[in-house]
Structure 1
Amino acid sequence: MKASAGILLYRKQSTGIHFFLVHPGGPFWKNKDAGAWSIPKGELAADEDPLERAKLEFEEETGHPVTGRFVPLTPVKQKAGKLVFAWAVEGDIDTTALSSNTFNLQWPPGSGKIIQAPEVDRWEWFGYEEAKRRINPAQVSFIEQAAILIIV
């Protein structure tokens, strides 16, 4: 079974709790919004430590390392069957100073033409309800779990 590991960064402000989400890059995701966002995450190798992979993916997709007290969240299974492990951590990051790694993609599919696309093309902070609307539906549980942990 395929698995991924990621980080749900959050911050507390006078206006409430905000969650940091990323929008996948590449032409397929260009015009998709609600339900397309995600926590920064990446594929996990069978013998790899999930938290270390999650931290590495965060840095690859933002250009910045993440530190703090990592609180494990209950994993979720996405629609295609991939299991996603996640950790919530409090922190702050300036979305105007971020950069993502890139990947090679055949586009259009079957064309033989290879383009280079950013793994992430947007980064934003969202309040609780907006984060739940924007994130991949399978990952809504991460927002809900983190909100309970933060309030307690």
Structure 2
Amino acid sequence: MRFSAGVLLFRRHAELEVLLGHMGGPLWAKKDAAAWSIPKGEYLPEEETAAAAAAREFEEELGLPVPAGEWVPLGDVRYGTKQVTVWAVEGDLDPALVVPGTFEMQWPPRSGRMQEFPEIDRAAWFGLETAREKLVAGQRPILDRIAEHVTGALPR
């Protein structure tokens, strides 16, 4: 099992909105539906707490610290061989200020050529209905949990 942790930033405008990042790199470049993620990343439980990893990964992926606010535990989701622990924080952040971290991978495949790509290539705010279409399927249960936290009821 691999462990990841992340922070779902949310705000209350005309509707509840969440901040998602579009996954970077050539594999995701031409995809939009199910190609966005909660800012998160892997950690080793014996070396770091999930909360510390969530804060670190948020800053690594977005280039900005988690805004000040209460950390609301939204629990875990499991998909594939990954368990993701997520907290919600109410706050605001201008996506234009995001300076994403990078990763390196061989591209094109089997070329022997290493290239650097952004971890996320853009960030944006979405209402829950749109976020459900954009977010990778394994993370979608988190949207029900944030809705329940904010409104006290599950979305339709």
TM-score (norm 2): 0.93
Residues in 2 aligned to 1:7 and 1:109: alpha-carbon distance in whole angstroms = 32
Query: What amino acid sits opposite 1:42 in the alignment?
Result: G
Could you say what secondary structure the match of 1:99 adopts?
coil
In the TM superposition, structure 1's runs of 4+ consecutive aligned residues that sit over 2 Å from their partners are: none
The answer for unaligned runs of 5 or more in structure 2 is none
Residues in 2 aligned to 1:63 and 1:102: alpha-carbon distance in whole angstroms = 10
Residues in 1 aligned to 2:70 and 2:83: alpha-carbon distance in whole angstroms = 23
Instruction: Name the structure 1 match of 2:63.
Output: 63
Which residues in structure 2 correspond to 1:95-106 (within 5 Å)?
95-106=95-106
Percent of matched pairs sharing the same residue? 45
Instruction: Name the structure 2 match of 1:23.
Output: 22
Q: CA deviation at 1:46?
A: 2.8
Instruction: Name the structure 2 match of 1:35.
Output: 34
Q: CA deviation at 1:83?
A: 0.6
RMSD: 0.9
Which residues in structure 2 correspond to 1:1-152 (within 5 Å)?
1-13=1-13, 15-47=14-46, 48-66=48-66, 67-78=68-79, 80-152=80-152
Query: What amino acid sits opposite 1:73 in the alignment?
Result: L
Describe the superposition over 1:111-142 as per-residue Cα deviations: whole angstroms up to 9, x where unpaired: 11000111110100000100111001111111
The answer for unaligned runs of 5 or more in structure 1 is none
TM-score (norm 1): 0.95
Residues in 1 aligned to 2:51 and 2:109: alpha-carbon distance in whole angstroms = 33
Q: How many residues matched? A: 150
